[in-house]
Chain A
Amino acid sequence: MTETLQSRRVPLAHPERQLALLDDLPGDADFEAALARAGWSSLTPAPLEIFQINLGKLCNMTCRHCHVDAGPDRTDAMMSRQTIEACLSALDRTTAHTVDLTGGAPEIHPHFKYVVDEAVKRGKHVIDRCNLSVLLMQRNAGLAEWLGERGVEIVASLPHYRKRNTDAQRGDGAFDKSIEALRLLNAAGYGKGDPRRMLSLMMNPAGAFLAPSQGSIEKEWHTALARDFGITFDRLLALNNMPISRFLEWLVESGNLQSYMERLTSGFNPNAIAGLMCRNTISISWDGRLFDCDFNQMLDLDALPESPMTVHDFDFERWQARRVVTRRHCFGCTAGAGSSCGGATA
């Protein structure tokens, strides 16, 4: 049974300890230098497309690889209604076409439905990053239909279409619950080719290796889930595991940290740079701070516009004029086929 780093009060609960651990690894792993060799003297923003709100770290699950250190005990980190209003006001000042709701489990935030409704009212495409099992909670009965009526895309985590790897990463019983929730989503019209009921599955490796190319495995996933469980979905996204938080702890404990970082750095793919999510995304934390991505958010690497700002005093022009903050963990997004909340980038 996994428990959050914070509840165990271990040193790695602190982002600065995570960063120091990565920085102290031997080897040539300077991300800025790798960018420069690929012709990027600095990582500059692309037009803003994704407005990602992390509603908080509260989650009904405690997965071994979680980069958020989310869990049932994380009631300490929940976005207030006031910050939500500030997010919506900031959203209105951007060019973002998509509102991406993440957590924790965003669905258990008390104002989740309010945020969805407000974003839909503004004509935005809304993504719910869903752990699947949350849909089985009694309080969420009917939520799949409710989301479908609003055209919300569900991006659901599923490490593998077989039980072993999913349970290894997300806990015993997670796979069976995921299948039950996927059936529920199918019954609500999700995953059947309807653009207003898009069901995307997000897989990530159950271990210290890179994600496969999503295009090469998507057909197999469709076939296997339909054959074994009668489940359909619309598209498959593949994400590399980021060497931070609880996955970092697992890498250390399993003796895989050094070789995994070497795998990420040697797998550096210059073609993945242009599509990096830090370039077209704004990531907002539960307490209203601004980040280049959800990973930087978890490492307390605040975005660095010319002068500091939060969502409460958001200025779009200054945001777009910033330089993206990078450290060694960024090799996780440029390795192999590239990796982002939207899947491969190369």
Chain B
Amino acid sequence: MADHYYAPEHLKGFATIAEGSPELAKKFFDYYGAVFAPGALTEREKALIALAVAHTVQCPYCIDAYTTESLQKGADLEQMTEAVHVACAIRGGASLVHGMQMKGHAEKAGM
């Protein structure tokens, strides 16, 4: 057992997750590959979305992987930073818009 969480080698060994359930792993990785193939969105656009989501779900593996992937799809630091700000804005905005719940409740409860 690892003596710490988030070991960098986990990312390289991700495919071995199939050992516990090859069928489910195959379904997942096939789906995953299809999701990131070029479609109505380009590979770069998908990589930048993934990078932003990685920051939202705070997954260090995904942040490493999609930083590299975004760079390799031709994105640069400015574009990647803007993508992270999009995640940040939605995350912050999501908190703030819940303030409407607070506000409505407060207005109902108050005089």
Contacts and interface: CB of A to CB of B under 8 A. Distances in A.
Tell me, yes or no, whether A binds B.
Answer: yes
Interface string B40-64: 0011100000000000000000000
A216 B68 CA distance: 16
Nearest to A220: B74
Contact of A216 (B42, B76, B77): B42
Contacts of A216: 42-44, 73-74
B74 A336 contact: no
Contacts of B12: 262
B16 interface: no
A209 B68 contact: yes
B72 A165 contact: no
Nearest to A221: B74
Contact of B77 (A164, A213, A220): A164
Contacts of B107: none
Interface residues of A, number: 17
Nearest to B77: A164
Interface string A146-190: 000000000000001010110000000000000000000000000
Nearest to A336: B72
A243 to B, nearest CB: 16
A164 B77 CA distance: 9
A205 B71 contact: yes
Interface residues of B, number: 12
A193 B111 CA distance: 73
Contacts of B73: 212-213, 216
A270 interface: no
B68 to A, nearest CB: 5
A160 B71 contact: no
A303 interface: no
Interface in A199-240: 205, 207, 209-213, 216-217, 220
Interface in B8-59: 12, 42-44
A192 to B, nearest CB: 24
B78 interface: yes
Contact of B72 (A162, A210, A262): A210
Contacts of B78: 162, 164
A213 B74 CA distance: 8
A207 B71 contact: yes
B72 A164 contact: no
A162 B76 contact: yes
Contacts of B76: 160, 162, 164-165
Nearest to A218: B74
A217 B74 contact: yes
Contacts of A205: 71-72
Nearest to B71: A209
A272 to B, nearest CB: 15
Nearest to B8: A259
Interface string B77-103: 110000000000000000000000000
B31 to A, nearest CB: 22
Interface of A: 160, 162, 164-165, 205, 207, 209-213, 216-217, 220, 262-263, 336
23 contacts: A160-B76, A162-B76, A162-B78, A164-B76, A164-B77, A165-B77, A205-B71, A205-B72, A207-B71, A209-B68, A209-B71, A209-B72, A213-B73, A213-B74, A216-B43, A216-B44, A216-B73, A216-B74, A217-B44, A217-B74, A262-B12, A263-B68, A336-B72
Interface of B: 12, 42-44, 68, 71-74, 76-78
